[in-house]
Structure formats: structure tokens, C-alpha cells
Amino acid sequence: MSLNQAFLAIIRRDLILAFRRRSEIANPIFFFILVVTLFPLGVGAQPKLLQAMAPGVIWVSALLAAMLSLDSLFRSDFDDGSLEQMLLSSHPVAVLVLAKIFAHWLVTGLPLMMVAPLLGLFLGLPEQALATLVMTLLLGTPVLSLIGAIGVALTVGLRRGGMILSLLVLPLYIPVLIFASNAVDMAATGMPVSAQLNILASIFFLSLVLAPIPTASALKMSIN
């Protein structure tokens, strides 16, 4: 099997397994929707306040929803032994890890990106900011999966690694949260957002290139 075939096979396998466990797909989406829709009940139905806080609310909710699904990235493979077989493969482990991260984003980040514009309208976000919101999620949610994969790989061998995973990953998510929410906020006021989007794109490409390598190394450490 060539490297391209192995890459596609892992994506196909993970997608099939994810759709067999539909609750694991639904939980982050429902969590995302629930947090955003309950927020107006906590601060009051004040349109101007909700519009001002909408970028931060949506992005914090998306970040927490993404974290909710991180533990499943390698857990089932670790439990059934398929992770060890992947590490013994003749193909570069970093590339195979990237395939698993991409499949994880397809079942978590992509649905969040599709639901977010409706929630933005619900919070009173102006229409001109919705395209920027989608763009920030398109650039930012893959970074959440890529960086989160490093933390998951370090804690996959621990029975209760959820708290440690949060401590490892959350500080690394802060730049994405800052620039993404600021871009949406600036777009809502009609200001240019090219600088924020360029920074997010840079973070995305750096994570895409660099994250799979330490993730593969951490998986080898966890298995051994």
C-alpha cells in the first residue's frame, strides 16, 4: 500500500468508526449550541451587549466543544491495539497521524463551522461579520485539532488524563482565540481584518507542518 493509499484508508476508517458512534459526533455540536443559546439567559436579552460579546462567546464555545472531543482522537486505537500497529507501519508515522487529525476535524471542526453562522445571527452578529466568522473557524478549528493532538498523544496512556490534557492544551489555544475573536469583532464594525486572518493562516500552516512530528514522537513514548 502506498503512502497516499494509507493516508486515505485511515481517514476512511476513522470516518466509518465515527459514524458508527454518532453520539461522539453529536456531543460537541450539541454542547456548542447549548452554551451559545444559554448565554443570553445569563447576561440578559440586551441586543447591543450580545452583539458585542458574540465573537468571544462563539469562539470560546467552539474551543471548549473541540476540547470535548479530543480524548477520542487516539483513545480507541490505543485500547484495541491498532495504534501500536500504526506506529509499526513502514510509512512515516507523522503522515498517518495527520490523516487521523484530518478525520477528527471533519467530524468535529467542520460541523461547528457550519452551525456557527446561525448562532452568530442568533446573537445579533451583523451579516458582514458572518463571512469572517466562517473564515476564522476554517483557519482556527484545524489548529485546535493539530495542537490538541499533541496533548492527547502525551496523555493517551493515562486513565484520567482529561485534566492534564486541559492544562497542556488550553494555554496553546489562547493566540487562536485572541486573533479569531478580534477578527470577527473588527469585521462587525466594518474594520479591515486582513492582518488577523494572515496571522491565523500563519498559525495554521505552522501547526500543519510542525504538530504531526511531536505528536508521533509522543505516541511512541506513550506506547513504550
pTM of the predicted model as reported, rounded to 2 decimal places: 0.88
Alpha-carbon distance of 43 to 74, in angstroms, equals 38
Residues 145-185: pLDDT tens digits?
999 999 888 888 776 666 778 888 888 999 999 999 999 99
Low-confidence ranges of the chain (pLDDT < 50): none
Kindly report, residue by residue over 82-99, the tens digit of the pLDDT.
Answer: 788 888 878 888 999 999
Contacts of 100 (CB under 8 A, 6+ apart): 10, 14, 73, 74, 77, 149
User: Is residue 223 a contact partner of residue 161, using CB atoms and an 8 Å limit?
Assistant: no
For residue 15, the SS3 value is helix
Can you give the pLDDT at residue 1? 67
> What was the pLDDT predicted at 164?
79
